[in-house]
Structure 1
Amino acid sequence: MSSFRFIHTADIHLDSPMRGLSEDVPEVAERLRLATREALTALVDAAIERAVDFVVIAGDVYDGDWRDYQTGVFFVRQMQRLAAAAIPVYLIHGNHDAQNQMTRSLRLPDNVQTFSAEAAETRTIDGLDIALHGASYAERAVTDNLVPGYPEPVADAFNIGVLHTGLGGRGGHENYAPCALDELTAKGYDYWALGHVHGAEVLAEHPHVVFSGNLQGRSIRETGAKSAYEVIVEDGRVAELRALHCDVARWAEQTVDVAAAEDFNDVFGAMRSAIEAGVEAAEGRLAAIRLRLTGTTPLHDRLLASPDMLLAEARTTAAGLGADSVYIEKIKLATDPEQDAATRRTRADALGELQRLLDEASNDADIREMIEKDVRRLAERLPHEIREHADDPLLRAAIDGDTATLIDGAGDYLLARLAAEDNAS
């Protein structure tokens, strides 16, 4: 059996809207918006430079409805570059592709072969003993197990299954095209090129079952290095998997322990160290960083009352490191006060009175009903994208109708503001 190499990628989500961007740093925001295009360009560059025999895309080239037809045009141009290098592409449509009507009408170059959505089918490659088996999604939510419908392996060939699957809801993703790992390994294929789950993972070897992960992180939920795989096959067996890091921006959440901080200058110094560590971890790429401040500290109240100042200081530090190297997405405060609620409750001042009122509010059915009614009305008016992806604890609590968390969180903020003003006077 011959030897060859191919690239396995998935979940490109071309022109996906980056979440968590601020227009305070417009040049960085624009770079992040173009990151999925640059990542795909880098992938095509790698395929041509390495002279791979073919490319496999395991679904979700796009990100649902295109906001601009140029999204499709850009993908076609990248596929034309591969065509000029005589590199074929084998593609299945995933749930996001199926959502887009224009995906079906887009004319792709002849080197791109798209698997049918009617039934799983087999494609072979001239001159190589390779059989690829795959099925596209006909609609967004595929709830049937597709694996039983995949063809039997071709004898004396290296068999590759291409599948877009949640594999049991792995990584918190929707469990589309559900199946089990042992079903895949028992199919008789040599390599399963999987898509849909955005974290790269090799689930089995010989036969290989592999999620390539997505090509470019798109928000703080998709941290760390992102990649495709170059698969090297020798004498009919996978000899090596090489990660191809095509991402041009890397998201990270950096923990900043401020327990030992005596003043804000100490906090700023700790934030700077965390930012520098994030930049180093990005390995020359744009670092998109969220700072998470932790620790029990007497500064808790002042920190909670000063979010804008903290963010401005962090972005000033980032600007000093170079506008092309780092972007501060958010500062998340997860510190704890030295004085807990039970201690505040016993105080005879305004802080103690407010704590007692908040305790009563949490247990007052009329107040809870009023908050639930008003907050629910506001939450229902939020755009779907915000409702789906909100990660701020209070906003998430409002959307989910978690009144207890909402009262506790709002109370913590009010207490911190009062305590900060009291300390400043």
Structure 2
Amino acid sequence: MVPFTFIHAADLHLDSQFKGVSGLSDGIRAFLRESTFASFERLTELAIREQVDFIVICGDVYDAKDSSLQAQLRFQEALDRLGEHGVGVYVIHGNHDPLDGPRMIVSQKEHVHVFGPEFERVTACRRQDGRPVAVIGGISYPTAKVTENTSLHFQRNRDSSLFHIALLHANVDGDPAHETYSPCTRRDLTAAGYDYWALGHIHKRQVLQENSHIVYPGNIQGRSIRETGAKGCYVVRVDEAGNIGLQFHELDTVRWYHETLAIDGMEGEEAFYAMVEDRMEAIRSERPGQMSVVRFAVAGRSRLHQRLEEGMAEEILHELHRKAVRAAAEPGGFEGLVWIESFDIRSGPWIDREALLEEESFLGELLRYGRKAGPDGEIRSDLFGSALQPLAANGELRKLLAEVGEEERTGWLRRAEEMAVMLLAEHGREREGGGEPDEH
């Protein structure tokens, strides 16, 4: 087998909007909008620097609803540059850029192949000598909602001894955080006999299987708090024996973080503000040349909790946003800029939790049940199923609920417990003090 190298990327979402970020200056908003292009530019530079033979892009180059002339021109410019360096490009369309939607115009270039709505196979060649190295099979979404198992169309060319690569935009094994488009299983993919399944659609980087590799590279730029951590692509090297070497390369210009601030025993506002600034500095030192966006989850029990709930967190957020806007306006201001997306108050008022756990009271029983439900997935599932059933009757809400991850659901459970403890504990204090609770 002739050795070769390619890049596996997906879900570029060029020029698409960032979600859940408010209070931005025009300059910061423009920087965020440019970040998908900057990450794509890094992808192009990586391909040239690593002298790869070709790139595969596995769907959602852009969002049809946000497609722009700028996105088309920048994409075409990158394709032309890759062609100048002899790098082939193979593209499929996904649910966000289906063939029947507003389409990005791609000039007919010999080094670019865009797969159509029917399964097809093409041969990819090595850049330096034109020798055939791989058979690439692919299929694009004809419409935004493809609910059939399109992986069943893939068949290995049994007459070819070349390495086989499959390009598919799909939800493998039913990831609940993403729409179930082109649903399939690892067994379906393995049965087709391909050497490497280059997947798109799931924005979390993961290698589902090796030896008949099944790989999601994730997206190249996170765009919301649901997309934390490093984002990028895989450089894939195939040797003479057909062995595969994967190397992840970071491409993101803006990185998202979800951090926890523990305030147990904390008394004063100054201590909390100092903790926030220290954590921001730690993030800045991790990525000194890039911008970061962070959501701080405030946890623990403290007498500071009530002040946070009553507006202190919003006041601090406003002040830190003001400082960030001012810093961003300076030359090089986006290098090391840390923007706080929000404070997620999951803390609670100070109580003697261990004593309450021993009480033979409704509150004690509630806390004991919460402790049991924490690590028990079946109990959590039953709780969410019954609590959210009225909302699930609405189609749009049902879709949103399906996108909520396990971590966020667990956060809801903790928050509900904290609210119950706060309300019941306050009710108990009113009864002990002889006061009457509000009738409403």
| Alpha-carbon offset, residue 105 of structure 1 | 5.4
- For 1:320 and 1:297, the matched residues in 2 are separated by 32
Q: Which runs of 5+ in 2 are unaligned?
A: 126-130, 357-390, 427-440
> Structure 1 residues 54 and 104, CA, compared in 2 at 3 Å: closer, same or farther?
same
> Structure 1 residues 232 and 67, CA, compared in 2 at 3 Å: closer, same or farther?
closer
Find the counterpart in structure 2 of residue 309 from structure 1.
315
Find the counterpart in structure 2 of residue 269 from structure 1.
274
| Alpha-carbon offset, residue 66 of structure 1 | 3.3
Contact conserved, 2:16 with 2:67, CA < 8 A, in 1?
no
| Alpha-carbon offset, residue 182 of structure 1 | 1.8
3-state SS, counterpart of residue 125 of structure 1: strand
| Alpha-carbon offset, residue 203 of structure 1 | 1.1
> Structure 1 residues 390 and 153, CA, compared in 2 at 3 Å: closer, same or farther?
closer
Q: Which amino acid aligns with 1:217?
A: G
Q: Which runs of 5+ in 1 are unaligned?
A: 344-375, 398-404, 416-425
| Alpha-carbon offset, residue 100 of structure 1 | 6.2
| Alpha-carbon offset, residue 328 of structure 1 | 1.5
The one-character-per-residue Cα deviations of 1:134-183 (angstroms, maximum 9, x if unpaired) are 11110111111112211223431100011111113326111111111122
1:333 aligns with 2:338: no
> Structure 1 residues 56 and 304, CA, compared in 2 at 3 Å: closer, same or farther?
same
1:214 aligns with 2:226: no
Contact conserved, 2:173 with 2:186, CA < 8 A, in 1?
no
Mapping of 1:214-363 within 5 angstroms? Answer: 214-282=219-287, 284-306=289-311, 307-315=313-321, 323-324=333-334, 325-338=337-350
Find the counterpart in structure 2 of residue 146 from structure 1.
150
3-state SS, counterpart of residue 129 of structure 1: strand
TM-score, with normalisation over the residues of structure 1?
Answer: 0.78
Find the counterpart in structure 2 of residue 122 from structure 1.
121
3-state SS, counterpart of residue 329 of structure 1: strand
Contact conserved, 2:317 with 2:342, CA < 8 A, in 1?
yes
> Structure 1 residues 389 and 285, CA, compared in 2 at 3 Å: closer, same or farther?
farther
Contact conserved, 2:221 with 2:254, CA < 8 A, in 1?
yes
Q: How many residues of Structure 1 are paired with residues of Structure 2 in the alignment?
A: 370
Q: Which amino acid aligns with 2:54?
A: F
Q: Which amino acid aligns with 2:110?
A: D
Find the counterpart in structure 1 of residue 11 from structure 2.
11
3-state SS, counterpart of residue 210 of structure 1: strand
- For 2:86 and 2:185, the matched residues in 1 are separated by 36
The share of aligned pairs that are identical, in percent, is 33
Find the counterpart in structure 2 of residue 194 from structure 1.
199
Mapping of 1:65-144 within 5 angstroms? Answer: 65-98=65-98, 101-103=101-103, 106-118=106-118, 120-126=119-125, 127-144=131-148
| Alpha-carbon offset, residue 316 of structure 1 | 5.6
3-state SS, counterpart of residue 130 of structure 1: strand
> Structure 1 residues 225 and 283, CA, compared in 2 at 3 Å: closer, same or farther?
farther
Find the counterpart in structure 2 of residue 33 from structure 1.
33
- For 1:201 and 1:388, the matched residues in 2 are separated by 20
Bigger shift: 323-332 or 36-45? 323-332
Q: Which amino acid aligns with 2:120?
A: E
Contact conserved, 2:178 with 2:403, CA < 8 A, in 1?
no
- For 1:107 and 1:65, the matched residues in 2 are separated by 22
Partner residue of 1:158 out of 139, 158, 163: 163
Contact conserved, 2:28 with 2:325, CA < 8 A, in 1?
no
| Alpha-carbon offset, residue 28 of structure 1 | 2.2
| Alpha-carbon offset, residue 108 of structure 1 | 5.0
| Alpha-carbon offset, residue 186 of structure 1 | 2.6
Alignment RMSD? 3.6
> Structure 1 residues 186 and 158, CA, compared in 2 at 3 Å: closer, same or farther?
same
> Structure 1 residues 146 and 196, CA, compared in 2 at 3 Å: closer, same or farther?
same
The one-character-per-residue Cα deviations of 1:335-376 (angstroms, maximum 9, x if unpaired) are 101259xx9xxxxxxxxxxxxxxxxxxxxxxxxxxxxxxxx9
- For 2:322 and 2:65, the matched residues in 1 are separated by 37
| Alpha-carbon offset, residue 101 of structure 1 | 2.4
| Alpha-carbon offset, residue 31 of structure 1 | 1.1
TM-score, with normalisation over the residues of structure 2?
Answer: 0.75
3-state SS, counterpart of residue 46 of structure 1: helix
